Amino acid sequence: MTQPFRLALIAHDQKKADMVAFARTYEKLLAPCEIVATGTTGGLIQEACPSLTIRRVKSGPLGGDQQIGALIAEGKIDGLIFFVDPMSPMPHDVDVKALMRLGSVYDIPMALNRATAEVLVQKRGLLRDDAADNTITAASAT
């Protein structure tokens, strides 16, 4: 049995509506995933997409970014979609940079905007459809 794809979803305040719209659009593809999201983002997605099961961690500025970073370091996250707002200063900017660094260090797929997230999902670069049992699973390492 294959393990479900473990996906982290995060969005800055000005990008939360975009993340919710993204999740609604791809709800069927995301449903089999194990989703971890920062507090507010996860709550908004859960409300808009009741079929998704979302494990919520703390809000980003309260340590949620660091919690997801720790999950990446422990090998418990397979991919990250983080809708970043490059136009707003973030008081926890250091945490955001550390999270992106961990994604690079542990070589997980990362999308930092909707366009990239859509390419990953649509082209199955982030997720693949397993024809045998019709579930979304982590892509096999080559």
8-130: CATH topology is Rossmann fold (3.40.50)
**With DSSP H G I counted as helix, E B as strand and the rest as coil, what are the percentages for the chain, rounded to 5?**
45, 20, 35
| Average pLDDT, integer, range 63-88 | 94
Catalytic residues: 65
Residue 137 pLDDT greater than 70, yes or no: no
Separation between Cα atoms, residue 113 and residue 18, nearest integer Å:
9
Per-domain boundaries in the chain: 8-130
Q: Give the tens place of pLDDT for each residue, 51-62.
A: 999 999 999 889
Q: Give the tens place of pLDDT for each residue, 28-68.
A: 989 989 999 999 999 999 999 999 999 999 998 899 999 99
Place of tokens 């393990």: 3
pLDDT at 138: 52
pLDDT at 6: 93
pTM: predicted TM-score of the whole model, two decimal places: 0.85
In this structure, what DSSP letter does residue 81 have?
A: E
pLDDT at 120: 79
37 contacts: CB under 8 Å, gap ≥ 6: 8, 9, 10, 45, 54, 55, 56, 57
pLDDT at 130: 47
Q: Give the tens place of pLDDT for each residue, 89-130.
A: 777 778 888 999 999 999 999 999 999 999 878 765 445 544
Place of tokens 């908004």: 44
Helix (H) or strand (E) holding 111: strand 110-111
